[in-house]
Structure 1
């Protein structure tokens, strides 16, 4: 089970997010404490807000008094509503929030049913509850509940590598809901800096997006339209305006997402993590399909775009480990579409990489450099460095041909 905790200042926002899903029959209200529940299964968001405010002073020094928690059991765990209700209550009690006003919701809008909890971390006098080491305590409680209820452990890291998001399945029906859930999830979980990167990410889940623009009553507008696709990337069914799914996936929000993602990737140097992995795998094979499958094993999906003639004209890497979507050229020209096209169409493409030792001289000394080595020695080959290869494909093919000739001569000398 994965437990996620977020702090915020908008109580109404947290209540509306969960309450609207319940009122749209995309979940259930499982339990409340000190908050009115009429037993109908629906939520009166305004009434819930007023009830919470009764237990909160009008003024408090706590900047983020709202606590929003999600408890996510493993998809293979089969839990009843009573089980989920008991797990949520025990979790809150052990965390020190058992006497606080709270609401427990079950979300059913995706196949992996999970629980959301809204509560507050201030008492009636405006004093903050003990939130020291909150995440560490939460992790300990999570493990205790997993053992007690026989739940499968589902750590955050493995959850991201397994990539639990599922592609839209038109045959399953309710395509609008599927597309909306997918779009909102990827916007929340991933970083991307261009519409092309965003489109490549969505393609993994059978969704595509297009920009629209026009003029209404003298005012220009720009928007986004989402469509479901089949396994070949062809649009299926009717398109949906982004407004159907909320402002968080609209044109303005996505543009802001580009800027935030770029800043985050630069500040945390996240592209370097992906680049190292991609270059390492690229150095192991000249076979395109093996390259893609080996990256997938490491938690990176590859989206290659081809011309009608089959030439690569675009490459995007989706790193589920870091949540980053990166065009190959953004990480360096050695991962650009042209470089990859050349790499996968060399005369010996599909064969194991050639290991060569090339002597170089440096200040009177000599040492050797292995072609598969990622270290960049002065004057070395640099096959996978931004400077480009010092030994080109024709030279390597010539060396291979000469090696074959030598073998033939040896065989003749042995009378073979």
Structure 2
């Protein structure tokens, strides 16, 4: 069992979150401790008033909400009575047994888990101290409950043991199909082990191929100023899904400070990787000079290289990044030299265009990068990483925004055909 405790200031928000899950059929209220009515008879307002009456007795206490999740192994499919007993035992052990609390059983993830809602204001208006409650009380309660109910112990090593041993074994994360921490851990661990990246944006280029993103927060946020980092799963729409996890909570603690050390180490190997990539890009450009822009992308894809052109909100191209699956590196075009920047590449490809129409329609079965995220079905164009399909290659470096083709619109216009001149004999 894994227990997570979050404190907050809005009991309405926490209740609304859980009640919304109930309305969507993704959760159910299985226990209402120290409420006058049964769970089925309680209305939203009755639940809210019960907590607010206590909170009003200590108006100076702003952080007065606890939102706890108890997470179980996927094989631990227990009854509602058993889950209720576990929740009651846990609340008693952390000092909240005399408080009113609600227990919701959620079904929106790949593992059984409970959400517990309560307040830390007692009936006499005193505040229950929650400082270090995780380390001082929750951890001991978890271990005791695991023994009492015969649950699988929450060991970080169990997650590490389940990590894929090679990049070939790595599969994409799909929100709700597995435990969030385990899914993020296996992707982040494997990518950091196998890919040469030298910055957080470069890391995100690879992570997004597996539906994961790392985020420092906005520039003015407290998390950004304190060099914090969280990881999130991306849904099918490319937006963050579920609750983000702190880097420090994952196996190996892939925090920003630790990543920066690895980035520094990876830079030592960049010259060799740049030389290899530069050779492939140069060959692809020569191919494009002869056969037109589509040959540029086809040559790179056959070498296991994906090119991503970064565009501004106005559609202006301002950068190019190469994702080399075979040599496992993410490299900005400018690193290869001035001639390999986005504008220079597009200018050369534009000159080589000979009226082929929309760029990026390879022949069937030709493109098969050496490494690809597992779980991608074969298509009529071969087996591709999720972003190497011709209609999806141009996207923002940090945004999972789908684009209709490989190249910007400037290179998609057909050139006017010249009239043929016939010589009179």
When the two structures are superposed, what TM-score results if normalisation uses the length of structure 1? 0.47
